[in-house]
Structures are given as C-alpha cells and as structure tokens.
Amino acid sequence: MERGLKVKDVADIFQQGSIWARERVEGPSLAWTLWVTLATFSQICCRLVADTPIKMRHLSTKATFNSHGQDSSYFLGWEEYEKNPYDEVQNPKGIIQMGLAENQLSFDLLESWLEKNPEPAGFKRDGKSIFRELALFQDYHGLPAFKRALVEFMAEIRGNRVSFDPNHMVLTAGATSANETLMFCLAEPGEAFLLPTPYYPGFDRDLKWRTEAEIVPIHCTSSNDFQITETALEAAYHEAQQRNLRVKGVLVTNPSNPLGTTLSRSELNLLISFITTKGIHLISDEIYSGTVFSSPGFVSVMEVLKDRNCDKSEVWNRVHIVCSLSKDLGLPGFRVGAIYSNDDMVVAASTKMSSFGLVSSQTQYLLSALLSDKKFTKNYISENQKRLKKRQNMLVMGLERAGISCLKSNAGLFCWVNMRHLLRSDSFEAEMELWKKIVYDVRLNISPGSSCHCTEPGWFRVCFANMTEETLDLAIQRLKDFVVEHTANGHSKSNNSSKNSNRKLLPKWVLRLSSSDRDHKPDER
Amino acid sequence: MTRPRPRTHESESETRNPTGGGGATAMRLIVPLQGVVQGRGGLILGSLIPCALFYFFQLYLKRHRSPKPGSNPTSPSQSSSNLSDLQRSSSRSNLSSRGSIGPVQVSSRASSIAKPNDSPYYIGLDRVSGDPYDRLDNPNGIIQLGLSENRLCFDLIEKWLSENTKDSVMGRDGGDLSISGIAPYQPSDGLMEFKVAMADFMSQVMGRAVSFDPSQMVLTAGATPALEILCFCLADPGNAFLVPTPYYPGFDRDMRWRTGVDLIPVHCRSTDNFIISITALDQAFNQARKRGIKVRGILISNPSNPVGNLLPRETLYNLLDFAREKNIHIVSDEIFAGSMYGSEEFVSMAEILDMEDIDKNRIHIVYGLSKDLALPGFRVGVIYSFNESVLIAAKKLTRFSSISAPTQRLLISMVSDTRFIQEYIETNKKRIREMHDLFVEGLKQLGIKCAQSCAGLYCWADMSGLISSYSEKGELELWDKLLNIAKINVTPGSACHCIEPGWFRCCFTTLSQEDVVIVIERIRKVAETCKISS
C-alpha cells in the first residue's frame, strides 16, 4: 500500500512535469533535456520500487486513501465477533455483540401492526392496488403523506411542544446521508465543524470523506459529566483558528451518542448564543430523540429557539436538525433519515442532493401508513421507552454489582461505562490492553472510548438493546467474573493516582481510524 | 526487471509527446542510464539522488503554478462554452455565488445546486408537473415525452404482486411473519441474496450471453448514486471524463455536482448514426491534456440514451484498446440493456471481457431496475466492477445510499422468479416495439425522420427541417413552440450536448396508443406553422 502511494506520487509528478514542459519548452533544448533526464530517473525509480500497485494509481485519492488503515486494532473486535458470534444454542461461548446500537426490544409491536394491516405492504389502499403510483414515484420531494406523518411523529416524540413543516423537510437514505448532505451544503472543502467529544466514530467518515470538511473536537471531560462548556467551545474555536481552519458550525448529538444523555436547556442556550456570536451553523443530530426513557426529558433545539423567540431572527435559519427512524422506530434496515432546516437554500440544495440517496417509494408508503396510525405511534413510543428503561436499569445495576459505574444516562441504546479503575495505567495503551482482554477473554465486543475521541482513557460504550435479556444477563455475568479475577490478580491500580499529563494525546491509531473502516462491519450508528 | 511492463510507460511517453519522436529520445536516454543504475552498487544513490532533485524541482514548480489551479473551476466551463446552456449556466451561478458573500453562509456547492436549473430538460419536466395532460381531467395539459419512463407493463407486475406479495416483504419462503429480516442493519451494499438475484436477472436480460458474479456487485439506491460513487472512486476534483454526445442530461448532475469532476463532450455525428469515433476521442483526450486536465475515463451509455442505438462489438473493442493505450477507465451505463425492440444484438462490455483476456480492472458497468423493470420508485442501482479496489471503496460509499431492506426482500422474490421475468422481458420488448413503430410511423408522415435505433424508451427525431435557423437558437425556439403551443414536452438535443441542431428526444413509453395519435396531431399543427413561416 505504502509503496503504491509512492509510485502514484512519482507518476503524478511525472505527468505534471510533462504538462509543464510542453507548455513552456518547444522541442529539444537545455531545459527539455534536463527535464527528460530527471523524468527518466524517476521512471526508473518507479520501476524499481513498484512491482504491484500500478492499477491503484488510476483511482481517485479518495478511493485509494479509504482502503488504508484496515489493520487498525479497533477492527479486531468486529473481526473477532464475526469469527465467533454468540448464539444461545449453537455457540454459547461466542462473543456477544455489544458494539451495535440497534433496538430490537420492540419488534413485536411492529410485527403485530404489520399483521393487522397487511394492505400497505401489499401496495394497496382501501382494497385497490396503488402499485402504479409507487413504481414510478421518484420525486425527490418525497411522498407528501409520508412527510406529513413523519413531521407529526417527530412532534409527538417532542411532546408536541414544537411542530414541524413538511416543506422544510428533506428525506434521505438514512441519517448518515443526511449528515453528509448537510456537510456538503454548509462547508467548503477544508472548512471545519466543531464536535463535542466523545463523539460517534462514524462521523470521521460520514462528515469528512467526500465533503473534505474537517472536524475539530470540543474537549469535554468527566469532571462535569461531559457537558459542553463555554470554555471548551471557545478553546475548540481557537484551536481551529490556529490550524487555519474556518469554522462553519457546531454539530451535536442530542441525545448524545455515545454518552446516552440529553443536552440540558442551559447547554442548548449556550450553543445558540455561541453560534449567534460567531455567525456559524448548528447541526443538532436528534436521531435518538425517541429513546429518552427517563427524566430529565428530551429538549429539542427547536424548542429552545422558540422559547428565545428566535424564529424571526437570523439564527433561525442556521439551525438544522437531523432525524431518522433507525433508532426512534428501530428500523435501520429501512434507511430513512431526514434533514429539517429553516433555511430555504439548504432545503433546496439538499432536496436536489437527495437524488443520490432516495428512500424507496414502497418503504415510504408502508411507513406513512404505520406512522399515520396515531394509536400505534402513541403506544409504541411509551412502551418502547418503558422497555429501554428496564433494560438500561438492568445493565447499570449489574455493572454496579461488579463494581463498575456508568455515567448517569436517560436516553440511548447504550451506557457510557467507566472502567478506569481496571486500567493498568492511566493511558490509552492501557485502555487498549483492557479492551483486548474484554474482547478476547471476556468475549464481549464493546467500543473503547478512544475510538470516540474521548480525552480520558478507561471509558467504554456498551450497547444493551440489540439482544435478549438472557444474553445481557450472561454478558454482565462474564464481566463480573472478569473483574473478580482481575482484582484478585492485583492488576488494578489505585484510581486516583497521578493524572497523566499528556492524556490528551490520542494514540496514533485513533488518528488513523479517521480514515479507516472494515468491510464487514455493519454500518451502525 | 524493466522489460516486462513497457506498455504503461510507453503510453506515458506517448501522451507526453504526441509525435512520438520525443519518446524515442527518451528511450535512448533510458537504456544507458538503466545500465548504470542496475549494474553497480550505486543503485540506490543513482536513483534516489536524481529523484530527490526532481522532486524538489517539481515542488518548486508546483508552488509557482499554484495560482493557476485556483482559477480552475471556471476553466472547464469556458472550454465547453460552445455547448448547451446547462454548463454555461451552472458555471455562471458558481461565479456569482462566490462573488456575493451574503449573510447566509451555505457552501458554494449548495448555492449553485439550489438555483433553479435552466436546462430545457429540467424546465420541461417542471412545466409538465405543473400542468400534466390527462385524457379526462386535463385534456389541454402538456403531454410528457421528456421522461424515459416505461408504463407499458404494469399489468404484468401487478398480477405478479397480487399472487405473491403476502410472503415477499416480510417472510422468507412464506415462513412466519418476521420483521427481524428487514428491520435491523443490513450490509449497506445490498443483501447477498439480492445480489445473486440481480446477477441472474442481468444475465437473463442480456439473453444469457454473459454471466455476472454477485461478488463483483455493489448495490445502490438507484443508478444515480451508482454513477456518482464511481465518479468519486475513479477521479479527483478537477479530473475529467470523456463523454460521447449526445448524452443523457442527467450525467451533468450525477457526475459533476458534488464530485468536482468535469465531463468533456466528444462529438458524434448523424452521418455516423451518432456512433463514437476513436479519432474524436483521441482529439478530445489530447486537447484535455494540453489544457492540463487529467482524463480519468470514458463514460458511455450502451444502449445509448438519447439516440437508442447500440455500440457495435467492433467499437467496444476499439474503446478498450483506446482505454488501454491511454491507461484510463471505461464506465459503461447499460441501464437500458433489456429495453430492446430492434433485432440487433446487444453486446455488454462484460461479454467482451468474458471472451478476451484483457486488463479488466478498468471496466465498470452501471445497471438498474428503473428502466428494464420499470421500477424507478424502488431505487435499485448496480455497480459491477472488475476492480477490487473500486469495489471496496464503492462498498464503503454505499453508506450514503443504500436500498431499503423491505424493498430488497420484495424484489428478491420478484426477480428470482425466472419464469415471470422471462415472460416480462418478452412482453415488454414486444410492447415497446409496437409503440415505437406507431410513433415513428406517425412522425414519418409529418416528414420527421428518426435516427436508426433499436433500444430504449425513446426515439431521436430529426426536426431540423422545422427550425427557423440552423442553430441552437432555432432549436430552442422550436422546443418552446412544442412546449407552449403544441403542449408536448420533448428534450432538445442541445440539452444532451448534441452538436447538430434540430434533434429531439421523444419518449413514447409513457403514452397509450390513443395518446400517440394526439401527440402526432399536436406536432402536426406546429410543423405546419413552421413550414408556412419558412
């Protein structure tokens, strides 16, 4: 791979040289000869070095760059899991997948609805086939009925304290695409967005790959439960300036992935004030809004804007919301995401861009029927929250019994777990070591905090909604046994020992991660 | 060590020196120098030092050249200023958006995309959606001939659906109703079962002349993202693809908008029945090189959209040779492969590769179900590539445009029903042929001839006899008359970058047979006024 790049460079130099020479030098002259000599040497060098990757040279830098870094140790976890996945009956000793934020707790509700309402799946409305309409429907404005149902569902999740206009909504193939589209719309290549850490590892791909935008972290720490502070915001803004990056906005996940906490009203106020003074955008990724299961309840940024009477001001147009049905309704396979923006230009541009990721008309129709059933949605939202709460409680209590604490959370499909006391030293190397033990020995695939760009070692994201209760029980049991054995061996060190001064320095592989991915890794968020 | 792979390097030196004389001098230098370098222990020094020198030399040049690339975004449009409105207009909006740094700070990409598109192709489509013809409700509305949609065979699919849907969306093999097969995360590049079904479907559509390997397939939400993803994988911003004209107006959107890649039109003539000539390609390639634009590939549509002809086997071989010689990619858009009505044989790029032992890495095929199965609403596109790296990169990029799982499940059962598909393909071809013959005959009676074609959902009509002046202006005047007086929306050749004025693409598969009569009658009225005035 490395060699391939060199060859590519040489070839590019060579080509540039050829263009340059032809532009300036007519026929053989001293400069021409000099150039030919040098180019020849480079060609020889090229031949000497290269045996393989000639073909790589002809792909775009994006394509070649993307395939780098697959050996990153983070992916070992996924690889191990795929080699040896847990199954209650067939492979009870396998690895349990706790790195996948998927909600399987309320499938039965969806199934029973589909059973009772066979018409939408069969392309029928009131007994008549509407297949013709759907087969040809490729309007990027989306099926009006579906958009209406979706905005009402969004409002319902937000306690009907805010309402949404379907004309300001753009449908996309999943929130992944929604985030990328917003990035395309708001940032030029080389411009930056500020993201509070820890953040969802996929953002490094989704926001940067094709748009060539940059991410600058806002460093949040456990000292205030990872809340966003003004100092942290200013520091990040300053850092971006120092790196010569123009800041175009702030992107937050609310509820936060991986923390599982909602943003408080004061944090939202702080963010709005910040983007007002700096004259930048705010993207609020609210795809977990339907998973808020206990108080304090969920407050959407739209609500705060309304309360501040911002709907007449300029800031109103600079706040954009991303939502999806992947977490709220547990349907990631349906690939439904949406952008909500008050800026007409953003809506117009992203509507056109959505032709690169439209939602199939069949899916839109099916979901419009599902979401229009108010009785169903009401029941689903409350029942789903109840089940999530129970599940989260089960995990938190279980971990507590094992002597492991979690960040107090009220949302999400995961907990942010503190295993700092199990680290050999206060470093990311130690976190990696512990994580490997958990994957290989304890056989749980969880996500290390460093993959989320967390600034403190020892934190892990543990998902709880993609398995049965029995499996979760088993996972907790395994972890408990591990902790007991670990403590008995005296590996752990006192938690409050000197804080590593350079703990902000992430290990190299984290940086590499920003461009890396693995093939078989499910595309979860 | 040096001998076995002279091809790629020769092509390099050839492009450097079109005359070939310089290449020879270079070779004369290479041979003795190689002797020096390889013979002795000074190998490393002998190669490294000049390389480093050369590198710094180039670095120095790059620094001095840098202001030039800065002005680059406008240069591609200048180069193609002899073409249609589309490119000119989009570049204009690009410039203005950069000039005005207003209070709304969206990116320049967004502001140029957000502007209404002033290509007649899109204007026409918009006009129809505002006032669509309906035999009963709106008999004076505009009839749509600008959208290549196939409405001829819905009855077949409806019949299949009524017999099969119960199990297809949710359960596999008619098993228990289960949502766990569609709700959770699925591989973003498509379910393996669907790839297998699609591979077989493609092979069936192409008359079993070629077989496709599901592992070389990446599924996307429509052919539009398939093209864009390929473009992201094959080219860097500022690079270009050569595209034979006339070409589908959507390419400008799909390939250029977000990728920053440029399309260079290569003109084909009616005298060749719009078949691409290698000489024209070569010329375009060299011109691009001269302007400092790196050409990364050729984009062809076969069967061609908008002409509806097929690329002969011979041309495909020539294209392959050309691509090999220049060391570039070929993207072959074969989305109309099954919508054939002529007797000629369709030859897929994949078929050529099946037989020839050639470098397959540069060939990429795009396919989809929007035309051949008439399901554009379902958003199914395919990238079929022989290049491992492209497949890996494309798979990752499908994160942003994957197909919804319930739709995949439904289509798996539909597409793997080989008997149904066989019947569908045959009936579809028959019905397209009937419609084509009816429509072309109608035009013929008005004295309008069509280019010889045998595939697609449209014909390519020569109305140059009706235009007031033999120019783009004359063509657009006629287009305007057809839209506003005759109330039919057709696509003018200029929107497809056709270099000869007076050609129009008319899609006939959205019509019923009765509609055809009305359309011909409406054209007749305009044709008569045109003849009188001239």
pLDDT one-digit tens code per residue, B282-336: 999 999 999 999 999 999 999 999 999 999 999 999 999 999 999 999 999 999 9
Instruction: Check: CB of residue B480 under 8 Å from CB of residue B439.
Output: no
Residues of B in contact with A177 (CB under 8 A): 399-401
Confirm whether B333 is a catalytic residue. Answer: yes
Give which of B197, B319, B338, B192 is closest to B266, Cα–Cα: B319
Q: Which residues pair with B491 in a beta bridge?
A: B505
Contact B105 A279 (CB under 8 A): yes
Alpha-carbon distance B258 to nearest alpha carbon in chain A (angstroms): 8
Instruction: Check: CB of residue A466 under 8 Å from CB of residue A103.
Output: yes
Q: Would you call A332 an interface residue with chain B, using a CB distance cutoff of 8 Å?
A: yes
d(CA B400, CA B396): 9
Q: Would you call B2 an interface residue with chain A, using a CB distance cutoff of 8 Å?
A: yes
Comparison of pLDDT for B337 and B37, the residue scoring more:
B337
Q: Is B447 helix (H, G, I), strand (E, B) or coil?
A: coil
- The pLDDT value recorded for residue B183 is 85
Mutate: best of B379, B380, B390, partner A, most A CBs <10 A = B379
Give all strands of the β-sheet with B363-368 in edge-to-edge order. Answer: B217-220, B381-385, B363-368, B329-333, B295-301, B240-244, B262-266
Q: Which of A255-269, A478-492, B263-277 has the lowest mean pLDDT?
A: A478-492
Comparison of pLDDT for B528 and B94, the residue scoring more:
B528
> Which residue pairs, CB below 8 angstroms and at least 24 apart, start in A493-501?
A493/A421, A493/A423, A493/A424, A493/A425, A495/A420, A495/A421, A497/A426, A498/A426, A499/A426, A500/A425, A500/A426, A500/A427
**Quick one: angle between helices A361-372 and B405-415, nearest 10?**
130
d(CA A81, CA A444): 8
The tokens for A3 are: 């060699």
Comparison of pLDDT for A158 and B33, the residue scoring more:
A158
Work out the average pLDDT over B380-387: 95
Q: Which of A226-230, B4-8, B90-94, B367-371 has the lowest mean pLDDT?
A: B90-94
- Rounded to two decimals, what is the model's pTM? 0.80
Q: What percent of chain B has pLDDT above 90?
A: 59
Nearby residues of A217 by Cβ (< 8 Å), 6 or more positions away: A194, A195, A196, A197, A199, A236, A453
Phi, psi torsion values for A3, nearest 5 degrees: -65, -40
Alpha-carbon distance A172 to nearest alpha carbon in chain B (angstroms): 8
d(CA B257, CA A140): 16
Mean pLDDT taken over chain B = 81
Q: Which of A299-313, B101-115, B176-190 has the lowest mean pLDDT?
A: B101-115
Q: Is A195 helix (H, G, I), strand (E, B) or coil?
A: strand
Q: Would you call A26 an interface residue with chain B, using a CB distance cutoff of 8 Å?
A: no
Peptide bond into B312 cis (omega under 30): no
**∠ CA A324-A327-A331, rounded to 5°:** 80
- The pLDDT value recorded for residue B15 is 36
Confirm whether A327 is a catalytic residue. Answer: yes
Cβ count near A478 (within 10 Å): 17
d(CA B108, CA B99): 10
Comparison of pLDDT for B349 and A490, the residue scoring more:
B349
Q: Which residues pair with B244 in a beta bridge?
A: B266
d(CA A321, CA A466): 26
Q: Would you call A453 an interface residue with chain B, using a CB distance cutoff of 8 Å?
A: no
- For residue B503, pLDDT over 50 is answered with yes
Work out the average pLDDT over A411-422: 95
Instruction: Check: CB of residue A457 under 8 Å from CB of residue A427.
Output: yes
**Quick one: angle between helices B513-533 and B418-445, nearest 10?**
30
- The pLDDT value recorded for residue A334 is 92
- For residue A9, pLDDT over 70 is answered with no
Alpha-carbon distance A50 to nearest alpha carbon in chain B (angstroms): 10
For residue range B106-124, what is the model confidence (pLDDT) as tens digits?
Answer: 888 888 888 877 788 888 9
Measured CA to CA in angstroms, residue B443 lies from A402, B206, B482 at distances of 82, 30, 14
- For residue B440, pLDDT over 60 is answered with yes
The tokens for A9 are: 């460079």
- The pLDDT value recorded for residue B24 is 46
Comparison of pLDDT for A176 and A117, the residue scoring more:
A176
Cβ count near B378 (within 10 Å): 29
Q: Residues of A numbered 295-314 whose beta carbons fall under 8 angstroms of chain B's beta carbons: which are they? A: 314
Question: Which of B12, B290, B292 faces A14 most closely, judged by CB atoms?
Answer: B12
Cβ count near A364 (within 10 Å): 26
Q: Is A51 helix (H, G, I), strand (E, B) or coil?
A: coil
Contact A60 B235 (CB under 8 A): yes
Nearby residues of B36 by Cβ (< 8 Å), 6 or more positions away: B42, B46
Comparison of pLDDT for A197 and A506, the residue scoring more:
A197
Q: DSSP E strands: which ranges in B345-426?
A: 363-368, 381-385
The tokens for A435 are: 């994580």
- For residue B521, pLDDT over 50 is answered with yes
- The pLDDT value recorded for residue B249 is 92
**∠ CA B301-B302-B304, rounded to 5°:** 70
Give which of B463, B477, B458, B457 is closest to B120, Cα–Cα: B477
Give all strands of the β-sheet with B449-450 in edge-to-edge order. Answer: B449-450, B458-462, B503-507, B491-492
Instruction: Give the nearest chain A residue to B116 (CA atoms).
Output: A348
| CA of residue B152 relative to chain centroid, distance | 24
Instruction: Check: CB of residue A51 under 8 Å from CB of residue B385.
Output: no
Contact A210 B397 (CB under 8 A): yes
Given the residues A147, A199, A327, A365, select the one marked as catalytic: A327
Given the residues A74, A81, A199, A200, select the one marked as catalytic: A200
Contact B50 A38 (CB under 8 A): yes
Residue B42 binned pLDDT confidence (cut-offs 50, 70, 90): low
d(CA A286, CA A154): 10
Confirm whether A375 is a catalytic residue. Answer: no
Q: Which of A108-117, A443-452, B10-19, B421-430 has the lowest mean pLDDT?
A: B10-19
Give which of B346, B330, B410, B344 is closest to B373, Cα–Cα: B410
Work out the average pLDDT over A136-155: 92
- The pLDDT value recorded for residue B170 is 52
Work out the average pLDDT over A9-14: 53
Confirm whether B248 is a catalytic residue. Answer: yes
Residue B31 binned pLDDT confidence (cut-offs 50, 70, 90): very low
Q: Which of A265-279, A458-472, B42-56 has the lowest mean pLDDT?
A: B42-56
Instruction: Check: CB of residue B256 under 8 Å from CB of residue B419.
Output: no
Mean pLDDT taken over chain A = 83
Contact B294 A15 (CB under 8 A): yes
For residue range A191-231, what is the model confidence (pLDDT) as tens digits?
Answer: 999 999 999 988 998 999 899 999 999 999 999 999 999 99
d(CA B410, CA B431): 25
Q: What percent of chain A has pLDDT above 90?
A: 66
Give which of B321, B393, B328, B387 is closest to B360, Cα–Cα: B387
Contact B397 A39 (CB under 8 A): no
- The pLDDT value recorded for residue B107 is 83
Q: Which of A54-58, A188-192, B323-327 has the lowest mean pLDDT?
A: A54-58
d(CA A172, CA A165): 17
- For residue B498, pLDDT over 50 is answered with yes
The tokens for A258 are: 């991986």
- For residue B338, pLDDT over 70 is answered with yes
Q: What percent of chain A has pLDDT above 70?
A: 79
d(CA B156, CA A318): 49
Largest Cα–Cα distance in chain A? 84
Strands A444-445 and A96-97: parallel
d(CA B58, CA B176): 67
Comparison of pLDDT for B352 and B50, the residue scoring more:
B352
What's chain A's Rg over C-alpha atoms?
26
Q: Which residue has the tokens 């010889």?
A: B452
Question: A189: burial class by Cβ within 10 Å (0-12, 13-18, 19+)?
Answer: middle
Q: Residues of A numbered 408-427 whose beta carbons fall under 8 angstroms of chain B's beta carbons: which are they? A: none
- The pLDDT value recorded for residue A59 is 73
Instruction: Check: CB of residue B416 under 8 Å from CB of residue A176.
Output: no
Give which of B240, B231, B196, B431 is closest to B333, Cα–Cα: B231
Mutate: best of A114, A380, A384, A523, partner B, most B CBs <10 A = A523
Residue B460 binned pLDDT confidence (cut-offs 50, 70, 90): very high
Alpha-carbon distance A8 to nearest alpha carbon in chain B (angstroms): 13
Nearby residues of B164 by Cβ (< 8 Å), 6 or more positions away: B413, B414, B417
Instruction: Check: CB of residue A231 under 8 Å from CB of residue A237.
Output: no
Contact B179 A107 (CB under 8 A): yes
d(CA B76, CA B239): 10
Q: Residues of B numbered 150-209 whose beta carbons fall under 8 angstroms of chain A's beta carbons: which are they? A: 151, 154, 157-158, 161-162, 165-166, 169-170, 177-180, 182-188
Work out the average pLDDT over B273-289: 94
Q: How many Cα neighbours within 13 Å face the side chain of B410?
A: 29
| CA of residue A476 relative to chain centroid, distance | 26
- The pLDDT value recorded for residue A466 is 92
